[in-house]
Amino acid sequence: MHSRGSTTSMPRWVKAFGIAAILVVLLFFSLHLAGYGGGGHTLHSDVMEHGMHQP
């Protein structure tokens, strides 16, 4: 099992993955700050006023 990863330097795929992840997170927060994404993690007041209960 351990023979697969013999180098201690960070592989290129991890760096590329990290950069892609940072870009996705920035895009996500940009969209939320810009007001897109509907209710986000909570709901708009017009939604909340109708009340809500779990199934």
Partner 1 sequence: MSMTPRARKFALTAHITSSIGWFGAVAGFLALAIAGAASRDAQVMRAAYPAMGLTYWYVIVPLGLASLLTGLVSSLGTEWGLFRHYWVLVKLLLTIPLTVLLLMHTQPVSYMANAGIERTLSGADLGWLRIQLVGDATAALLVLLVATILSVYRPRGMTGYGASR
What is the contact surface with partner 1 in residues (CB under 8 A)? 1-2, 4-8, 10-11, 13-14, 17, 21, 36-43, 47, 50, 52-55
- Smallest distance from the beta carbon of 22 to partner 1, in angstroms? 12
Cα 21 from Cα 14, distance rounded (Å)? 10
Query: How many beta carbons lie within 10 A of that of residue 8, not counting itself?
Result: 5
- Smallest distance from the beta carbon of 43 to partner 1, in angstroms? 5
Between 6 and 33, CB nearer to partner 1: 6
Q: Give, as one character, the DSSP assignment of residue 14.
A: H
Extract the tokens encoding 14: 């991890």
